[in-house]
Amino acid sequence: MGVINVTPDSFSDGGVNFDPDVAADSARRMLDEGAAIVDVGGESTRPGARAVSSDVELRRVVPVLEALEGLPLSIDTSKSQVAARALELGAELVNDVTALRGDPELSGIVAEHGAYLCLMHMQGEPGTMQDDPRYEDVVAEVARFLDERLTFAVSQGIREQSICLDPGIGFGKTVEHNFELLRRLEELTALGRPLLVGISRKSSLGKIMGDADAKTGTTAASVGAAVLAYERGASIFRVHDVREHVEALAAARAVTR
C-alpha cells in the first residue's frame, strides 16, 4: 500500500503531494512500482496534528481521486462524508485510524458500499497521544482492542472477510511499545484477519539510530522493519517508498518459501 498524503503537514511527505496533479502522478508511479493499492489521505494524524473539517479533507482528496479513477485506491479517513465520496469515486478500502470510534455514520457507509476496511489501534488522539503512553501489556491490550473492534464492525453489517487489522505503530506508543508489537506480531495474526503494518519512515526508526528528537526514519530502516514484520505474518505494508519495499519483500518471500 503506497501512501499519498494530500496535506501540507504530514510528518514525512507533508507538502510533497499537496498539489493534486503531483499527488496523482506520485500515485501512478507507486502503482507502476508494484503497489497493490494507494492510500490517499487529506488529514495528518502525526503526533500533535490538528484535526481538519470534512470540507477541507474533501477539497484536498477529491481532485486526486477523480484523477485516479479506475485505479486501486484506499481512503485514509475517519469521516463518513469523506469516505462516502471516495467510495462513490471508486475507492475500495476505508482506512480508519479510529477503528470506527470517530464517526458513528462511518460503519453504515462501509457496509452499504461493501467496501474493505482497515481497523487500527490508537491510544488517545493525535493531538496528545504521544504525551505519556502507558500499557500493562501493549500486545495483549492491542489484541483485545482489535478483536473488540472487529466484532463491532461485523455487528454493523461489514463482512469479516473484508476487514484487516493494524496495531497502529506510533499511535499512542513509545519506541519500545512499537518494537514489542512487531516482535510479538504473531499474537495479532492469531486474530485471524490480515495484518497491515505502517512503520514506514516513522520516528521510532530514527530514534533507535540515536537521535532522541527524530521526527522520521530512513527508507532502509523502514524496509528492515517491514521484512521482519512480513516474517512474523504481516501481509499489507503501508509505505512511502514503494519500489524499495516491493524489492525487499520479494526477496524475503523467496527466502521464506
Catalytic residues: 202, 238
Stretch near ligand HH2 under the rule CB under 6 A, chosen from 50-58, 108-116, 162-170, 208-216: 162-170
- Per CB under 6 A, the list member of 23, 27, 64, 169 interacting with ligand HH2 is 169
Environment class of 82 (CB within 10 Å of its CB; exposed 0-12, middle 13-18, buried 19+): buried
- Per CB under 6 A, the list member of 121, 149, 173, 238 interacting with ligand HH2 is 238
**CB neighbours (10 Å) of residue 91?**
30
248 vs 91: CA distance, rounded Å: 27
Is 195 an interacting residue with respect to ligand HH2 (CB under 6 A)?
no
In the complex, minimum distance from the CB of residue 198 to ligand HH2, in angstroms, rounded to a whole number: 2
Which CB atom, from 57 or from 76, has the smaller least distance to ligand HH2? Answer: 76
Q: Residues 152, 100: contact at Cβ < 8 Å?
A: yes
Is 95 an interacting residue with respect to ligand HH2 (CB under 6 A)?
yes
Q: Residues 242, 27: contact at Cβ < 8 Å?
A: no
Which CB atom, from 109 or from 146, has the smaller least distance to ligand HH2? Answer: 146
Is 44 an interacting residue with respect to ligand HH2 (CB under 6 A)?
yes
Stretch near ligand HH2 under the rule CB under 6 A, chosen from 56-64, 164-172, 182-190, 249-257: 164-172
39 vs 74: CA distance, rounded Å: 4
222 vs 46: CA distance, rounded Å: 17
Which CB atom, from 120 or from 234, has the smaller least distance to ligand HH2? Answer: 120
3-state SS assignment for residue 120: strand
Is 222 an interacting residue with respect to ligand HH2 (CB under 6 A)?
no
Which CB atom, from 45 or from 80, has the smaller least distance to ligand HH2? Answer: 45
In the complex, minimum distance from the CB of residue 189 to ligand HH2, in angstroms, rounded to a whole number: 16
- Of 173, 98, 97, which is closest to residue 133 (Cα–Cα)? 173
52 vs 12: CA distance, rounded Å: 18
Grid coordinates belonging to 219:
527508507
Q: Which x/- pattern, by CB under 6 A, does the window 3-22 give for ligand HH2? A: x-x-x--xxx----------
